Amino acid sequence: MSSLIIPLALGFLGSFHCIGMCGPIALALPLGRRGPAGKVAGVLLYNAGRIMTYSILGLISGLIGKGFSLMGLQQVLSVLIGIVIIATVVLSKTWTSSIEQKMSALPVLKEIKTAIQQLFRRASLPSFFLIGGLNGLLPCGFVYIALPMAMATGTSWQGALFMALFGLSTVPAMMIVSFSHRLFSLSFRNNVKRALPVFMFLLGVLLVVRGLNLGLPYISPQCDANGHVLHSCCQKK
């Protein structure tokens, strides 16, 4: 159950960060000439495209994590990812913004932005899906945090599921901002922003503790070198 709650909570809280990063694209979707049903369909297709991209990235991350698992390094990977997340919280005002700026300057991302602009001119339903899919490749600090956690799942399908749930939990906020960003009060957004570092720090601590093989059921179960749980109470059914 916790494996489902974590990506949902991360995506929901992170969606308020997405309002600042992806909100301009969601608000700029060419929906003006469509009726209510067409507008809803366009926004849903846009978000479906984002989730598809996140799922593919999660699948790739899970495959990489499986490689670490086969080498007997899954627990080490969990500790390292936890430390990186904690460091991200501590250095968030300098480090993460610097990474996003450097990523945005990459030539391939400039090509993606150009492709998105061309799709905006088409304003067809398939173009909304493609806009969302390409938008999922744009720099985003929370995606960079979610992907290592997807890697820590140790399998391709779990990595894909983790990122799909992450993307799905961002949809409510992105749907609202597509139609009316005023529904989120300034005080509410500020409270969420204050809660985000605390939540991320706790996630980082959880990953570190989980990788230490402390023998704590569900939190830090005893695992073998390949990351398989040894205690029967924690075995996956």
Residue 124 has phi, psi (to 5 degrees) of -95, 165
CA 79, CA 227: separation in Å to the nearest integer?
13
CA 15, CA 47: separation in Å to the nearest integer?
12
Half-sphere exposure of 43 (CA within 13 A, CB side): 24
Do residues 96 and 88 lie in contact, with contact meaning Cβ atoms separated by under 8 Å? yes
Q: What is the pLDDT of residue 75?
A: 78
Residue type, 61: S
Q: For residue range 107-131, list pLDDT tens digits in order.
A: 788 888 889 889 988 878 899 999 9
Instruction: Report, in this order, helix, strand and coil percent for the chain, each rounded to 5.
Output: 75, 0, 20
DSSP 170-199: THHHHHHHHH-GGGS-HHHHHHHHHHHHHH
Domain that holds residue 228: 2-234
Residue type, 87: A
Number of domains in the chain: 1
Q: What is the pLDDT of residue 235?
A: 43
Q: For residue range 68-102, list pLDDT tens digits in order.
A: 877 777 778 888 888 888 887 777 655 555 566 66
Confidence class of residue 219 from pLDDT cuts 50, 70 and 90? low
Do residues 158 and 59 lie in contact, with contact meaning Cβ atoms separated by under 8 Å? no
Q: Which residue's entry shows tokens 């969606």?
A: 15
CA 49, CA 63: separation in Å to the nearest integer?
21
- Tell me how far the alpha carbon of residue 202 is from its chain's centroid: 17
